Structure 1
């Protein structure tokens, strides 16, 4: 391989990776309706958390995230971050089927989670909010880290976000 071929390959490889991950991300299904069925089947009184947040706080956090996609996030990362690192991250998460983030990190600017809110109340609110998002026909608000997303992209973000947090919840 000569120097010119090496430079071309070096420039084209990242572009190919980004395009491939975006393609895979759009093909992979993220059925929020199935997640809704799973949430409705959860026995609120028998749930426990293995993480630093209790079950109610986890459910409240997920509700906040989905609600903000409809009404707007209280704070946002810089446009540069959203349209560079944020876009790469959202496509990588959707392509791999895993969303990696600290599970006890609040949404920037969001009100504090209420540790004493009963699980059944937090679960009902999450179920309502997921259904509201699925039925939403209006414009969606930019994600605080990923920027403007289509509804399909938000489906993947919400599905993966719920999945990662629900992994900390078990039935006792």
Structure 2
């Protein structure tokens, strides 16, 4: 391989990878209706958390995330971050089917989670906000890290975010 071929391959390979992940991400479906069924089947009084946050805090955090996609996030990363690393990350998450992030990291600028809020109240709020998001016909707000997202992209983000947090919750 000569120098010109090497440079060309070095430039085209990352572009091809980005485009391939975007294509795979757009082809995968992430129905929130499946998660909603799962949430409605949870017995709030028997739930336990394996994480740093208790069950109620996990559910409150997920509710905040969904609600902010409709009403706006309190703080955002820089536009440079959102339209570079953020866009790459959201496509990679959707393509792989896994959203990786620290599970005890609050949303920037979000109010503190209430540790004493009963699980049944937190679960009802989460179910309400998932249903509200699914029915929402208005404009969606930019994600604090991923920037402007389509409703399908938000479906992916919310589905994967909920899945990752629900892995910390078990029924005792």
Partner of 1:66: 66
SS at match of 2:100: coil
Gap regions ≥5 residues in structure 1? none
State the number of aligned residues. Answer: 172
Matches within 5 A, 1:1-172: 1-172=1-172
SS at match of 1:143: coil
Deviation per residue, 1:37-61 (Å, 9 max, x gap): 0000000000000000000000000
Structure 2: distance between partners of 1:159 and 1:17: 24
Aligned-pair RMSD on alpha carbons?
A: 0.3
Length-normalised TM-score, structure 2: 1.00
Length-normalised TM-score, structure 1: 1.00
SS at match of 2:48: strand
Structure 1: distance between partners of 2:16 and 2:121: 46
Deviation per residue, 1:18-49 (Å, 9 max, x gap): 00000000111101001000000000000000
**Runs of 4+ deviating beyond 3 Å:** none
Structure 1: distance between partners of 2:165 and 2:86: 20
Structure 1: distance between partners of 2:34 and 2:100: 21
Structure 2: distance between partners of 1:163 and 1:32: 10
> By how many angstroms is 1:91 displaced?
0.3
SS at match of 1:107: coil
SS at match of 1:18: helix
Gap regions ≥5 residues in structure 2? none
> By how many angstroms is 1:117 displaced?
0.2
